[in-house]
Amino acid sequence: MGQPRWGRVGNILLTALLLAVPAEARPRPPRIEVPAVLQAWVVGVTDGDTVKVHAPGLPELRVRLLGIDAPESGQDFGKVAKRVLADKVMGRELLLHTRGLDRYGRVLAKLLCDGVDVNLAMVREGLAWHYAHYASTQHSGDAALYARAEAQARAGRVGLWAYPDPVPPWEWRRKRH
């Protein structure tokens, strides 16, 4: 039967009000200052290249692993990449070497767990691509190291490279939007 008349009118008025407020005047999540090196504990794993961390004195942070792009959850190896990343870092203490925030407000960082570069490990294990498009944002020497690791994983047919022609996540996302 539908909503009562006042419900539809209320929805229309609310929509009109929201459209009347310029985008720059709408509230945005606060931009936070993140130190270049940060000690944190992983409290969640979103996917194969994004985690949630807790660091003293800061709100819960979403962290995007710098220099890599893992398959999306709907892609081959997407769920595997998430599970392997969770096995590596969930509940563990990490050292984050940060590079600011991305356009979604996530902290961009290289994760070190017991001295091991987790981002690089994901590429070596064939669970992520080196995100060469953003190589200039990586820490000194990392882009070349990650590119070599991807080439070795491809040559060894490790992880997702065991399949013919895996689709990079950035292409998969572009086709979905």
- Residues labelled catalytic: 64, 72, 106
CA distance 88 to 160: 18
Domains in the chain: ranges and CATH: 37-176 (2.40.50.90)
CA distance 108 to 86: 18
Sign of CA dihedral 34, 55, 104, 117: positive
The model's pTM: 0.82
Beta strands in the chain (DSSP E): 37-47, 50-54, 61-65, 68-69, 93-101, 107-113, 116-117, 129-130
In order along its 177 residues, the chain shows pLDDT tens digits of: 454 455 665 555 445 555 655 655 545 555 678 999 999 999 999 999 999 999 999 999 999 999 999 999 999 899 999 999 999 999 999 999 999 999 999 999 999 999 999 999 999 999 999 999 999 999 999 999 999 999 999 999 999 999 999 999 999 999 887
pLDDT of residue 32: 78
Please name which of 60, 80, 64 lies closest in space to residue 72, comparing C-alpha atoms: 80
